[in-house]
A and B are shown apart, each in its own frame.
Chain A
Amino acid sequence: MHLHTATLRSILQRSRRQLLRDALLHGALHGIWLGLLIALLVGALSRFWWSIPLVKPEQVAGVGLLVAPLLSGLWAYSRFAWTDSEVAFLTDQLLKTDERLITALYLEREGHEMGRTLSDLPHDLEASLYRAIKRPLPTHSRWLLLVSALVLAVFFIPPSSNAQWVPPNPTEVQAEANRLAQSLSEGELLPRSIQDTMDQLVEEMKKDTIDSKAAQEQLDALDHTLNTFSDQQRQSKKALNELKSAAKELSEVSTLNALANAIGRADMDLASRASQQLAAQSTQWSPDETERIADALKRAAQRLQQPENQGVADALKSAGEELASGGRSQSGSNGKGGQSQHRPNEAGSQDGQNGQSGGGEQSQNSGGEQSGQHNQSDQQGLQTLADELRRNEALAERLKDGERALQQAEQNSSALRAARERLSANSATGQNPQSTPSQQNTPDPQRAPGLAHTWEDQSERTGKVNAGQNAPNERFSQRTADQAIDDFEMLYRSLRVDDVNGQLTAVNGTRDNNGQIDVFKTTRTGGSEQASTPLLVLPTRYKDAAEEAISDERVPPGYRDAVKTYFDGLE
């Protein structure tokens, strides 16, 4: 096969291209090793030594693995500066052509005829060219896969305690997400869909994949969903409140205390047993007592108006009527002594019983059979009540679950509203708290009063600190000329547990004969447990502070009416 100059140049050009490709590939292989070294260093450092306030180590390693081969390959490509003679010489060596190509190149350069120089070359020169000139992979490349697996394994090692990656300063959305993650309560009481929506929203806010406006909108939507759920659960609360009212009626008769307590707690199983006990004791009741019990049962039945309590109401009513009819017949046989007197206070019931016992003996002798039948009906009525109560056990449990769910939903709803208002305030004022997780509980002295501030928030400082005053980290803020303080914090500060950042979630007030008693429910922001402050009698200066606050008009404008109404109710 005789080759001409053009063919010679073509061969050399193909050789050069193949060599260039191989240079790029080999350079990239070396770059992969460099990238693996970078990834190994980053992985080891992030696992075992110090915290690096950068992006995630996986991202750094990934960038290194991508960039290093690219740069190395390009560098090797750029270093490839082979002359035609060198390419020809290499090709001659690999193809074992006895230096025909470089001699031909020399003759071409000198302008001589090539003659027989390129004769007798193999016919499959092109195929043998690529086969021969293709550069074999370096020997170290066989270890690439294994080393890559080892480097990848390093990233699965759990970081040590002092090597946690500190994420950069969170945005306002991320800060709010962290707050929500700590304040939102989880449980099986809320529907799975609502729980999942909450979790997803918090997750998106943590990752900062949504902006403040979108977060506010989603918080609103979720709050609306929770409110709808809460409305559905209020029915349960109503029903339970009715049971408590009914229990109150029953408790006016001491004999029914056990039944009253059980129904008041919606413990239908206990109530059923109490009713059975009453049935057993009913034979020992005097007619007056029986009548009182009957009246109490009927009054209790009247308290139950909700559909959920209909069964219990009917059973109570029926039992009361049975007892009433039995008591009237018993008193009729026993004379006037059997009439009972209905008094709210059963203090005189025992005297009534003593008075009745004498007359009871007489009626007993004469009307023994008739009273026996009525006793049976009394027992039957109470037994029926017991059965009905037992049947409503599951319903009662659902009511209690509903009440708890309502409480949880309201709690979460308030947290969502607080978050939304804070985001809205930050958006309005252009603020970005830039708080780190360790600073989440530190009050922001720059926030104006009344902005994104609800009385459910933990006590946060809203005023600037003048020179010589207490440091901002102290629990009690200092008043400044143009900023209000958190009056509720001042009101409740004496009731707080020291060194605990508590989030005041609700204040439940109940009235008893001795005065107003408040129970403050607090939630520790750092943990999941709940702590309640013990029942306390409000200090005397509670009122003084309230009057002072109201008179100084330092109450946030949005809460003035509520504060006034509240404190007025204490009078």
Chain B
Amino acid sequence: MTDDVPWFIERMDQLRHEIAKVIVGQNEVVDAVLAALVSDGHVLLEGVPGLGKTLLVRTLARCLALDDARIQFTPDLMPADIIGTHILSEDGSGRRRLVFQPGPVFTQLLLADEINRATPKTQSALLEAMQEQQVTIGGKTHPLPPPFFVMATQNPLEQEGTYPLPEAQLDRFFYKVLVPFPTLDELIEITARTTGNQHPSASPVLSADELRRLKTIVRRVPIAPEIIHYAMRLIVATQHGTAHTAPITRSAIRYGASPRGAQTLILGARVRALYAGRSHVAISDIRAVAPNALRHRIGLSFDAEADGLTADDVIRSLLDQVPEIGGQVKELLGEYRP
């Protein structure tokens, strides 16, 4: 790990820098997307249209020299429109046969725009592909080209006529990232870049092998058992009827995070530790990635929604109520902190 961390930081900085040539601001979003990428996860972005979500995927694809595709989900979109279908094809000799025509999912970087506008059947076709990394059609399995990375988007404004993703499907996303509206300065920069004659573009800076090495490095970052224990206590705190259930859970959470949430916390914390130049995970890393990792994994109760609480509010309360340490260490620490 001694040499891996500087290399990781260098490559990631290079990647960020390259992306920043095209994408103005959105640093946290970019970091979260990259964290999900190197953790073999998928990202759900929630933001209003026009924030550069599609551009981000395309820029990322160029930086990584990967294929990319975009699917605009609409209510009439069929599963075959995503995964592909067999079509009757006639060769030069006139023979007809069924030929599999792969759908847009057969790409390395996929942007699934407004995924909540498609029907659940269509959504499930994509989500199955995300989970399995392959598509099965007509009894034949077609693997998806690695690294298969999906970045789905949701529009928080237009909720009528949409099909919100079911909880089980939401759980498949590594992060759910809220894309904020650009700041004034960022908006000025965006306008300057996109309304002139110059069209900034990104260049490939990372090969597939390097990407694989990045992923390997992430999974090698050591994490102390006490920190894993803290992450697990966070997950268990979202469940009802356990010894570690947090008070906020009883009042504001309908259903809690799954074990995938625990995996996300660990992997996301590792990436963040590497971002910070550390070769080990700290408790602060767990706390930092918890919102992105858990906000789409917990269901708010009616009371919470009626009170206007958001998932982020509940996660903040959760972080306050779940102690970082337990036992006599916590008891003793209380004497040091006024």
Contacts and interface: CB of A to CB of B under 8 A. Distances in A.
A99 B222 contact: no
B280 interface: yes
A90 B332 contact: yes
Contacts of B1: 113, 115-116
B327 A86 contact: yes
Interface string B35-72: 00000000000000000000000000000000000000
A103 B335 contact: no
A89 B238 CA distance: 25
Contacts of A94: 333, 336
Chain B interface helix/strand/loop/mixed = helix
A99 B269 CA distance: 13
Contacts of B336: 94, 135-136
Chain A: number of interface residues, binned into ranges? 20 to 34
Interface string B1-15: 110010000000000
B94 interface: no
A238 to B, nearest CB: 87
A89 B332 contact: no
B332 A117 contact: no
A19 B226 CA distance: 20
Contacts of B283: 98-99
A106 B279 contact: no
A302 to B, nearest CB: 101
A450 B315 CA distance: 101
B310 interface: no
A103 B328 contact: no
Given A103-B224, A106-B224, A115-B1, A98 B282 contact: yes
A85 B222 CA distance: 15
Contacts of A107: 222
B280 A136 contact: no
A93 interface: yes
A98 B324 CA distance: 12
Contacts of B281: 99, 103
Interface string B176-209: 0000000000000000000000000000000000
Nearest to A23: B332
Interface string B219-243: 0001111110000000000000000
Given A94-B336, A99-B283, A115-B1, A85 B278 contact: no
A85 B226 contact: yes
Interface in B302-338: 325, 327-329, 332-333, 335-336
Given A106-B222, A112-B222, A117-B222, A100 B280 contact: yes
Contacts of B278: 98, 116
B284 interface: yes
A80 to B, nearest CB: 9
Given A85-B226, A90-B329, A136-B336, A116 B5 contact: yes
B335 A138 contact: yes
Interface of A: 19, 82, 85-86, 89-90, 93-94, 98-100, 102-103, 105-107, 112-113, 115-117, 135-136, 138
Given A94-B336, A99-B282, A103-B223, 18 more contacts: A19-B332, A85-B226, A89-B329, A90-B333, A98-B283, A99-B226, A99-B281, A103-B224, A103-B227, A106-B222, A106-B224, A113-B1, A115-B279, A116-B2, A116-B5, A117-B222, A136-B335, A136-B336
16 contacts: A82-B328, A89-B325, A93-B325, A93-B329, A94-B333, A98-B278, A98-B282, A99-B224, A103-B222, A103-B224, A106-B225, A115-B1, A116-B1, A116-B278, A117-B280, A135-B336
